[in-house]
Every structure is written in C-alpha cells, then in structure tokens.
Amino acid sequence: MLFLLLVSPVILANTLSTNQLISSPSLGYDLQYRVHVPANLEQSKKYKTLYVVDGQSFLFNGKLHKVITSNISNNNIEPIISVFIDSRDPHNLQLNRRNEQFMCNPKYATFFINELLPQIQRDYPSSKKREDNVIMGVSFGGLNAACFGLMIDDYFGGLAMFSPANTEMLKVIRKSYNKAKPQPARVFISFGTKNDNILAGRRFKESLEKLNFDVHYFENNEGHNWKNWLPLLDDMLSVFFVRHKS
C-alpha cells in the first residue's frame, strides 16, 4: 500500500502565497489576502502572526515581505507568519473599501475574529494566543489598529500604527480608550513631523502610557507618506518580534 504525506508547500520554503479569496457573511462580500510564510516552519509549533490591513500597499510600496525575510535571515527577529489583507474588492480592484472598513467598523472586526483568524489558524501553524497576534496599518489602517485595540482587545496583543489618521478621529479614539480602559497591549506608533497629525498623536500616546500600554513611539522627519513609513518597518518588526539572543 502506498502512503502519501501531504504537506502544504507554503510550509516548506520561503513563500508569498497568491491571492486567496474569502467570502464574509459578516461583511456581505468577498475579500482577498496573501500569506507570507518563512522557510522551515515546523507544523508542530505555533508562530506569532502579523495581520496587515491595506496589505496590497504594504506589499507593493513597502515590500514588507522582503523586509521580514531579511530580518529573519539576519536573526534580528524570530520567524513569523504574515497575512496581507487587501482592502479592495477582489472582483473590481478599482473599488477600495478601506474608508468603510477602517473606521471602527464592527462588521469588519467581526470578520476578523469569526472568519479570518480561524481560517488562518486552520491553514497555517498560527498561534491563537492574544500576545502572539499583531494588527497593523498605515493612516486609516493605523486607525483601524487602534479601533481593534479598543473593540476586540481579547484578540490582539500588539497594535502597529503608522501615522494613524485623522486628527479628529484620533481625538475620538483617545477619549474612548480613556473611558473604556481596554486591556493593555504592546504598541508601535509613529508620526511624521511634517504635515502629519503629530500633536493629536502625541496626546494619544500619552493616554496609552497612562493606561499602562507598552508604547514604543517614533517620529520621523518626513510627511504622511512612504518616505516616513519605509525606514520604520525594521523598527516595527523589532518591537514585536525581536529574537532574544543567548
């Protein structure tokens, strides 16, 4: 009798998957995402996982999968699984839904905890532990990370926020944090010093510190753009996934 060992190829080599479609009952439409898995993951282990909204932009503009690979190869960070969620309609890429998804949308939060996270944890050796999962975004996507830290704080122990926008929304979020007092998390938060909402950001950072969040705050002498965010990708990875060398 011939026995075949079926092992997912994404576990065997450093790889970025093709787009994978997921139909969301919570949102009432389809979404797509790509998953980056480093080489030599062990199926018997569970790995920390980075969830990136506006994933298509972080892949195209930030080449984040390559930054992650380089940091793992250089032993700067431990191996992680990364999920890049596309904010566009997979059937019409001209339609970007980020504005409706990222504004503390309870349906989008439900999609994550009831549909996306369980799917990833079934398909990949992804950890279910709160402290092992990080939600990340830029601009309105950074605001979404702040929303998740408030709305579904049982699921994400890490919040990565690049220039969370805008000023008025940050004021609302800060007041909501002060009132609700969600579970503390580890936070990466950054702003540019030029034409970014840095004053509201500094106040939000101070509120998080008073709430006992583990805040890692960065300012860059750039604006609300990729010249600001690109140089900080390594710092963000180190905040959440640094490899502690013996």
pLDDT (tens digit per residue) in 127-158: 999 999 999 999 999 999 999 999 999 999 99
Rounded to 5 degrees, φ, ψ at 14 are -60, 120
Q: What is the mean pLDDT of residues 59-82?
A: 97
The Cα–Cα gap between 83 and 16 comes to 10
**pLDDT of 13:** 59
The Cα–Cα gap between 138 and 115 comes to 23
Cα three-residue angle 78-83-87, rounded to 5 degrees: 150
Confidence label for 3 from pLDDT (cuts 50, 70 and 90): very low
Confidence label for 63 from pLDDT (cuts 50, 70 and 90): very high
**pLDDT of 40:** 86
Block residue for tokens 């705050």:
217
Q: What is the mean pLDDT of residues 79-86?
A: 98
Residues 6+ apart with CB under 8 A from 161: 136, 137, 142, 143, 145, 146, 187, 188, 189, 190
pLDDT tens, 168-221? 999 999 999 999 999 999 999 999 999 999 999 999 999 999 999 999 999 999
Calculated CA dihedral for residues 191, 197, 201, 202, nearest 10 degrees: 90
Domain boundaries, the chain: 9-241
46 neighbors 63 (Cβ within 8 angstroms): no
Topology (CATH level 3) of domain 9-241: Rossmann fold (3.40.50)
The Cα–Cα gap between 148 and 106 comes to 9
Rounded to 5 degrees, φ, ψ at 235 are -65, -40
Could you tell me if residue 172 is left (phi over 0), alpha (psi between -120 and 50 degrees) or otherwise beta? alpha
Question: Other C-beta atoms within 10 Å of 76: how many?
Answer: 15
Confidence label for 14 from pLDDT (cuts 50, 70 and 90): confident
Block residue for tokens 């944890």:
121
Longest dimension (CA), the chain: 69
**pLDDT of 2:** 33
Burial label for 44, CB within 10 Å (0-12, 13-18, 19+), is exposed
**pLDDT of 43:** 82
Q: Where are the alpha helices (DSSP H) in 102-232?
A: 106-111, 117-123, 140-151, 167-180, 198-210, 226-229
Closest CA to 126 of 196, 59, 51: 51
